[in-house]
Chain A
Amino acid sequence: MKKLLALVAVLAMALAICTACGDDNKTGGNADNQQGSGNKTITIGIYEPASGENGPGGKQEVLGVKYAHSLQPTVEINGETYDIKLQEVDNQSDTTKAVSAAQNLVAANVSVVLGSYGSGVAIAGGPYFEQAQIPAIGISCTNPQVTEGNDYYFRVCFLDPFQGTVMANFAKDEMKAETAFVITQLGDDYSAGLGTYFKQAFEGLGGTVLEAQFQTGETDFNAILTNVLNSDADVIFAPSSIQTAPLLIQQARQMGITMPILAGDTWENESIITNAGQYATEVYLSTFFDENDTSNPAASEFVTGFKAWLNADPQNLTNNGGGDGVAAVSALAFDAYNVAIEAIKSANSTVGADIRNALPGVDYTGVTGSITFNETGDANKDMAYVKTIDVENGNFKFLKTQSVGE
């Protein structure tokens, strides 16, 4: 019984402390105007991995948002100028850590959330944003489950069923593959989802699919790759994280596997080229944007400006993976930020629910093409860019655009 009393006393004390601190938390919240400019502020949350297996990708998306923010640091609401404050949290590419990161964003009273790289963390954080009535704009999370059944999640990229089909078509038409070996990561929604859609599409085209899975944090793919070597596969499809990619590529080539390796949008990261080095031959991937595509004037303007901005700060260059190549996710992040601004403008409000209601009406032409949302909150996009790794120059080479002919 005494323990019970003890418990009660302790909880009461903890509560007292919390109450005391809680009050000033409230006053330090949203409506502060102690900024230097004297303007009111509106906070945009950045929900991205800065560490973990997708850290490099998250950093590139943050760069895109920051660049957009540097161009447009204020927004007009009801005739008043609001400073936009960016609130960054690190979801560590981990669904459990993501929950606490999402809660921190919610507690920071953000009006809109941008992110995340990696569908798993977006799915994990989604319910919190929905519950707090904060709209979230996914940048490159391609799994359908991110927006499905979540009224507050939107996204500016294409979806995995589309991407899987694109790569299946590519494998079938360009690579003349009959059998594909699909290697996916267990427990990763992005990887498992994309693998499944690729399989469906590829089998629909009359191909055969062999499968293997690996665990999160796996470094040794030799066993799987030996099986690949021993099968009659013509091509490997391995949608996976940035961390996995170089290991897989290198081990495959060291084992004498020369067949093409296909993957999804996550592999468009320069750290993969750096880490895989000379082995990164015959690697093909689909992505959202190409920096050398000059058909869109907004895009070329973005590419020039972004490169100059990157080169101005060595820290930015480091975060971009060392070079000044423009990643598709940075371009998408740039668009996502501007879509958020458009929505805030048309909602004329800092309240999340109002902005959410304004989002379906947004029609924005960005650097990755025009962005409008369908009723699930997905952008209507129907074009993917297929790229390959150019080992000699250490960058990604654009091959072709591909859309899905129904």
Chain B
Amino acid sequence: MAKDNEKIIQQNMLKPDGLNPKVKYSIAAVLLALLLLGIWWLEQILPPSSIIFTVLKKGAIYSLIAVSLNLLNGFTGLFSLGQAGFMLIGAYTYAVLTIPPESRAAVYMYYDGGIIDFALPVPVAMLLAGCLAGLCGFLIGLPVLRLKSDYLAIATLGFAEIIRAIVQYDKLGPITNASNLLRSFPVFRSTLFPFIVAGLCIAVICLLINSSYGRAFKAIRDDEIAAEAMGINLFAHKEMALVTSAFFAGIGGALLAMFQMMVQARAFTSAMTYEILLIVVIGGIGSITGSIIASFLFIACSEWWLRFLDEVQIINGFQLPFMRSGFRMVVFSIIIMFVVLFYRKGIMGTKEFSIDGIYKFFRRLFTGEGKKPKEQKGGGAA
């Protein structure tokens, strides 16, 4: 399998009919600029309360978190269910460090204003949020990464629960406000902010996946024993994947806290991890673009498109059956089960959505040539 990968990588390098990298970069730059411009323009013409911005913001944040989980589950083959714990650390680190001192008395009302009396600038706090989550990932990895598949899953899930309990411990109240809400920290108003931050983070993850480390991750996923025989240090690489994933989940958590304008530990349960896991599954385990598409779809459906299912609909005096509060989630979970059972690859499988791909698709479409052997089969490579 590792050998196959090698071949694919070579193929990708040669890329006989791919686009010239320079052209690709410029297309990317143009598209990126267009996207940001588009959001900026939307913010000008639509009222800020529009549901689109909710979907876009939350979708961008969930993309980052889903991609960070995919790095573990899809690319390294570590079935981790600890993402909610890392998000929690990120969200709390950010919130605790940025609440302005003048608001602390109100927020920490049960703890005499808490013991922290400074506020860090937003970028520093976000970075720290990621770092602390990464550090936790490192510490958790030490014992846990020896475990295999489902034991690993349940152990990481357990760690997330332990983290949640520690944060809620009332002796830590002066720092974490125990199990009470944290709020009044700086938040973002513009949709551009989560897009830029999440975009940058995902770009870094992509770079990592395409580096030699990324190839090692995939080798571990495909066959641990073979990878070890090839001289890959299993533990070091797994640890690295876990720390990276935790770091970005932490930043995602900080973004989520900003988006929600408040953060409370009890929300970060295993149900939250399951939700992200299901996004990854829908998008395709091992596909970054898949995770991103799935995040936006998932959020758009749950916040917006499927909302009508929750309301009693009356058409021509006839009340449609089933439609009442909660129906949306039933439809949703049936769709998810359908994907899991019959469409196991998800939207993208392990493939990626790329400019090259579109280019080839169109070329095939117009010239009827360029039949290439199945590309990028060996994993989310590319």
Contact = CB atoms under 8 A, between A and B. Distances in A.
Interface of A: 1-12, 14-15, 18-19, 21-22, 25-26, 50-51, 90, 94-96, 99-100, 103-104, 106-107, 109, 120, 123-124, 127-128, 132, 145, 148-149, 186-187, 189, 192, 196, 213, 216
B356 A127 contact: no
B326 A103 contact: no
Nearest to A134: B49
Given A50-B325, A103-B54, A107-B49, A10 B106 contact: no
A26 B180 contact: no
Interface residues of B, number: 68
Interface of B: 21, 24-25, 27-28, 31-32, 34-35, 38-39, 42, 46-52, 54-56, 59, 103, 106, 109-110, 168, 170, 178-181, 183-184, 195, 199, 202-203, 206, 209-210, 260-262, 264-267, 288-289, 292-293, 296, 300, 303, 307, 310, 325-326, 352-358, 382
B169 to A, nearest CB: 10
Given A8-B32, A50-B325, A128-B261, A106 B289 contact: no
A3 B49 contact: no
14 contacts: A1-B21, A7-B292, A8-B31, A9-B355, A9-B358, A12-B38, A14-B296, A15-B56, A19-B42, A26-B46, A99-B261, A100-B54, A124-B261, A124-B264
Given A3-B209, A124-B181, A192-B110, A10 B292 contact: yes
A99 B181 CA distance: 13
Given A9-B355, A187-B179, 17 more contacts: A1-B24, A3-B206, A3-B288, A5-B27, A6-B289, A6-B353, A9-B353, A22-B42, A25-B52, A96-B267, A109-B47, A109-B49, A120-B264, A124-B181, A186-B170, A186-B266, A187-B266
Contacts of A18: 42, 52, 55-56, 300
Closest 9 CB pairs of A and B: A187-B179, A3-B206, A107-B51, A96-B267, A186-B179, A8-B31, A5-B28, A127-B261, A5-B355
A1 B25 contact: yes
Contacts, number: 171
A4 B54 contact: no
Nearest to A29: B47
B265 A213 contact: no
A15 B56 CA distance: 8
B71 to A, nearest CB: 12
Contacts of B260: 96, 99, 124
A187 B56 contact: no
B110 A3 contact: no
Nearest to A50: B325
Nearest to B57: A103
B210 A3 contact: yes
